[in-house]
Amino acid sequence: MKEALIVWGGWSGHEPEAGARIVGDILREEGFNVFTETTTEAFADPSIRDLSLIVPIITMAKIEKEELSNLCEAVKGGVGLGGYHGGMADAFRDQPEYQFMVGGQWVAHPGNIIDYRVDVTRPDDAVMAGIESFAYRSEQYYMHVDPSNEVLATTRFTGDHADWIEGTVMPVVWKRRYGKGRVFYSSLGHIASEFQVPEMATIVRRGLLWAARD
């Protein structure tokens, strides 16, 4: 049986505990044995290198050097890494190696909660199959992103809330490699209720399954 570790914590505004419950249920439905922890100390355990998948749901917060090193080595060795919104791409802001692994870092969400559009750019990819571009209401993440990411969906900024970025196209969903590990990320999911949006929930489910080591 595949095994997954979810570690949640950090800023409570992103509802990490509720998100961890939802993700845990998704993975159990897909046949995973799921372990849940609430401290970054879990990343220091050498046994995480035997997992199929790790899902961080930790906005901001801190991580110790040994914890990050072991996490990075686990993913380099083939453990999948997947997550969403600030729980994965706004964790450990002072750790560039973590950002290198994830493939991006949040820097702003102009206008806060707004209506915007998610444009599917890779309808041929299994993660996005059958999903058409869709309207969404949440934080529209402006991010610093790695150009080596395989981008599956994007969004365009109107400039209504920051005129100097009008027309900027920003990745929303991507896949990448870090060593032998597969890494998946979606910037959707500011609060747990967004999993009620079918497109959002489907993308996260498929992305985590893609990332997980066989």
Q: Report residue 7's pLDDT band, with 50, 70 and 90 as the boundaries.
A: very high
Place of tokens 């365009």: 156
Place of tokens 């869709």: 134
Which of these, 145, 156, 167, 87, lies nearest to 121 by C-alpha position?
A: 156
For the chain, the 3-state helix, strand and coil shares in percent, each to the nearest 5, are: 35, 35, 30
Q: Give the separation between CA 185 and CA 136, rounded to whole angstroms.
A: 17
User: Which tokens in the block code for residue 183?
Assistant: 């890494």
DSSP annotation string for 39-86: SGGGGG-GGGGG-SEEEEEEEB----HHHHHHHHHHHHTT-EEEEEHH
User: Which tokens in the block code for residue 147?
Assistant: 């150009």
pLDDT at 183: 99
Whole-structure pTM value: 0.97
Q: Report residue 35's pLDDT band, with 50, 70 and 90 as the boundaries.
A: very high
Q: Give the separation between CA 192 and CA 18, rounded to whole angstroms.
A: 6
Q: Give the separation between CA 114 and CA 151, rounded to whole angstroms.
A: 22
Structure confidence by residue, pLDDT tens digits, 36-78 = 999 999 999 999 999 999 999 999 999 999 999 999 999 999 9
Q: What integer best gives the mean pLDDT of the chain? A: 98
CA distances for 5 relative to 49, 58, 169, angstroms: 11, 13, 33
Q: Give the separation between CA 33 and CA 56, rounded to whole angstroms.
A: 16
pLDDT at 4: 98
User: Which tokens in the block code for residue 152?
Assistant: 């599956």
Q: How far apart are the first and last CA of the chain?
A: 10
Q: Give the separation between CA 172 and CA 200, rounded to whole angstroms.
A: 11
From 3.40.50.1000, 3.40.50.2000, 3.40.50.720, 3.40.50.880, which CATH number describes the 3-211 domain? 3.40.50.880
Structure confidence by residue, pLDDT tens digits, 139-192 = 999 999 999 999 999 999 999 999 999 999 999 999 999 999 999 999 999 999
Q: Give the separation between CA 102 and CA 58, rounded to whole angstroms.
A: 13
